[in-house]
DNA sequence: TGGCGGTACTG
DNA sequence: CAGTACC
DNA sequence: GCCA
């Protein structure tokens, strides 16, 4: 079995374990292993032959054995058993927004739901709303999620994302309450494809901004509308999130929402190693769990300041993929 | 053997 | 509060 | 699950 197929098997193992209600850290280990393998530049056969698979960060004893078995035989008992124990229809249900492993498990056990089709019927008959932890609103959200799941799951070309950004950004800039605004996320990182749009605004008066954002033209659904965070979906399936933060936290939040997740995790680990705690709200001494929405003692008037405070060289958005750039910036 | 990133919104 | 989602 |  070649590398591409093995990556897929590892990803599927992670997905199935999610539905089985496995330990989330274990699940993460599998998807991290899959990603590591995928981005490995060396030839997999060479690495295995030289017995160096386990030397790769994130690949330990268990994953090494499984990868080697798959490479040599194309079969894996552990995987086969998992496949046999998880109805394939349940895997599709993870694409529905609002449904994760836990809820899918409940739906399967209590209502015998085992596919999108049976889930649709269960919702239409109102059986889902009666479940503990579910409700009328959940039920409606599931039905609309099913109807639009292709649009939801689709990623968009950067170019298409940019044309959306060009429409939304000027509107935000014009609002008198908006002090600063940027598009963040994978769009800012310049990824070839963009999952959804992330806008970040600095303001001390979020409410009118949130209201404007959730009532733009072309919105078909407001999926969240809170005090500082809202999500909407447009015709055609593009999703956009808006966050509003106080201006002294703007660059921390911009860094955070530009991501990637892996990059953020490394940056936070780097902070912890210095006795500091980094979040979207600021950089503060680790100490107690006082991660309230207050600015930390460290000020940032640019993203550069954040890297500087951690003793790192500046890493531009396009390199923030958690693939060693943080380590490379030490010096 | 214990810890694993930190936060917002929903029901 | 637990679950889901986001980077 | 992996790692220190």
Closest residue to B3 (CA, C1′): A25
Distance CA A100, CA A94 (A): 6
pLDDT range class, residue A266, cuts 50, 70, 90: confident
> Closest nucleotide (CA of A99 to C1')?
C4
Strand C positions within 7 A of protein Cβ atoms: 2-7
Name the nearest CA neighbour of A266 among A251, A253, A255.
Answer: A255
| Distance of A316 CA from C3 C1′ (whole Å) | 34
Contacts 24+ apart (CB under 8 A), A44-53: A44/A2, A44/A3, A44/A6, A44/A71, A45/A71
Bridging pattern class, strands A276-279 and A197-202: unpaired
Mean pLDDT along residues A181-205: 94
Q: Give chain A residues 257-276 with Cβ within 7 A of strand B.
A: 261, 264-265, 268-269, 272
Please give the torsion angle defined by the CA atoms of residues A202, A205, A208 and A211, in that order, rounded to the nearest 10 degrees: 70
Cut 0.75: pTM above it: yes
pLDDT tens-digit readout, A253-264: 999 999 898 899
Answer for A99: CB within 7 Å of strand C.
Answer: yes
Distance CA A139, CA A88 (A): 22
| Distance of A281 CA from C4 C1′ (whole Å) | 21
Q: What is the pLDDT of residue A290?
A: 44
Indicate the CATH number for domain A3-149.
Answer: 1.10.150.110
Distance CA A17, CA A26 (A): 8
Q: Show residues, CB within 7 A, near nucleic chain D.
A: A 23, 25-26, 28-30, 33, 56-64, 78
With a cut of 50, say whether residue A293 has pLDDT above it: no
Contacts 24+ apart (CB under 8 A), A67-71: A67/A6, A67/A10, A67/A33, A67/A37, A70/A1, A70/A5, A70/A6, A70/A9, A71/A1, A71/A6, A71/A44, A71/A45
Closest residue to C1 (CA, C1′): A133
With a cut of 90, say whether residue A112 has pLDDT above it: yes
pLDDT tens-digit readout, A146-176: 988 888 788 899 999 999 999 999 999 999 9
Closest residue to B10 (CA, C1′): A224
Domain ranges of chain A: 3-149, 156-245, 249-329
Strand D positions within 7 A of protein Cβ atoms: 1-3
The topology (CATH level 3) of A156-245 is: Beta Polymerase; domain 2 (3.30.460)
pLDDT tens-digit readout, A26-37: 999 999 999 889
Structure tokens at A95: 């694409």
pLDDT, mean over chain A = 90
Q: What is the pLDDT of residue A220?
A: 86
Is CATH 3.30.210.10 the classification given to domain A249-329? yes
The burial class, CB within 10 Å (0-12 / 13-18 / 19+), for A34 is buried
With a cut of 60, say whether residue A186 has pLDDT above it: yes
Structure tokens at A71: 């490479």
Closest residue to B8 (CA, C1′): A229
Answer for A244: CB within 7 Å of strand B.
Answer: no
| Distance of A300 CA from C3 C1′ (whole Å) | 34
> Closest nucleotide (CA of A26 to C1')?
D1
| Percent of residues, chain A, with pLDDT higher than 90 | 63
| Distance of A50 CA from B6 C1′ (whole Å) | 39
Mean pLDDT along residues A186-195: 93
Answer for A138: CB within 7 Å of strand B.
Answer: yes
Answer for A249: CB within 7 Å of strand B.
Answer: no
Q: What is the pLDDT of residue A16?
A: 92
Strand B positions within 7 A of protein Cβ atoms: 3-11
């Amino acid at each position: 079995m070649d590398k591409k197929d093995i990556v897929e098997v590892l990803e599927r193992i992670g997905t199935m374990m999610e539905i089985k209600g496995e330990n989330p850290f274990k699940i993460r280990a599998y998807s991290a292993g899959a990603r590591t393998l995928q981005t490995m530049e060396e030839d997999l056969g060479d690495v295995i032959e030289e017995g160096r698979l386990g030397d790769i960060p994130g690949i330990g004893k268990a994953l090494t054995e499984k990868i080697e078995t798959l490479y040599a035989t194309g079969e894996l008992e552990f995987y086969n058993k998992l496949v046999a124990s998880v109805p394939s229809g349940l895997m599709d249900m993870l694409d529905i927004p609002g449904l994760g492993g836990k809820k899918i498990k409940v739906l399967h056990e209590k209502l015998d739901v085992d596919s999108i089709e049976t889930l649709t019927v269960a919702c239409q008959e109102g059986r889902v709303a009666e479940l503990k932890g579910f409700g009328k609103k959940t039920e409606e959200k599931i039905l609309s999620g099913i109807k639009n799941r292709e649009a939801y799951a689709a990623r968009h070309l950067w170019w298409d994302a940019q044309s959306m950004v060009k429409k939304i950004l000027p509107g935000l800039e014009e609002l008198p309450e908006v002090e600063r605004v940027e598009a963040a996320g994978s769009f800012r990182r310049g990824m070839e494809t963009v999952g959804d749009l992330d806008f970040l605004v600095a303001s001390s008066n979020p409410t009118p901004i949130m209201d404007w954002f959730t009532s733009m033209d072309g919105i078909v659904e407001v999926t969240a509308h809170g005090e500082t965070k809202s999500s909407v979906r447009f015709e055609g399936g593009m999703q956009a999130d808006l966050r509003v933060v106080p201006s002294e936290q703007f660059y921390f939040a911009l860094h955070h929402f530009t991501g990637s997740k892996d990059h953020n995790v490394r940056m936070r680990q780097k902070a912890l190693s210095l006795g500091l705690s980094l979040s979207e709200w600021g950089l503060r001494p680790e100490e107690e769990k006082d991660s309230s929405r207050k600015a930390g003692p460290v000020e940032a008037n640019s993203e550069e300041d954040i890297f500087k405070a951690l003793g790192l060289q500046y890493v531009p958005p396009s390199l923030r993929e958690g693939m060693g750039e943080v380590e490379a910036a030490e010096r």
